[in-house]
Amino acid sequence: MSDNLVQKIILALLPLALAAMGYLFTSMVEVRDETRTLTQKMSILIDMDNRIIPSPDNAIARLALREEMLAIKSELEQRIGIIEYRIDHDRRNQTNP
């Protein structure tokens, strides 16, 4: 009777074990595919020297920021020039009464 009961339990658990193995294999295939996809995407983002390749949107944003910074720099240089001129002019007026 004991052998008969063990056989019934094994036969009952066999489909469950096969389903679990099938699930594990399917999960491994999904992980492998996802890893392959991520590796392909990494090759788009990083060059052979492990430097980040800028995206076109990022490059456009950096260009706009650079132009803005150059405009601000130009304005500040003009203001500094005016201030330096006034300081020199005031010094000359103070030394030559």
Whole-structure pTM over 0.75, yes or no? no
E strand spans, the chain: none
Provide the pLDDT for residue 18.
94
pLDDT surpasses 70 at 96: no
CA pseudo-torsion sign 77, 81, 83, 88: positive
CA 81/CA 79 separation, integer angstroms:
5
Go through the chain and tell me how many residues it has: 97
pLDDT in tens, 15-66: 999 999 999 999 999 999 999 998 888 777 777 787 887 777 888 888 999 9
How high is the pLDDT of residue 97?
58
pLDDT at 74 over 90: yes
Buried b (16+ CB within 10 A) or exposed e, 56-85: eeeeeeeeeeeeeeeeeeeeeeeeeeeeee
- Give the C-alpha separation, 23 to 15, whole Å: 12
Annotated domain spans of the chain: 1-53, 54-97
The rounded distance, in Å, linking the Cα atoms of 6 and 13 is 10
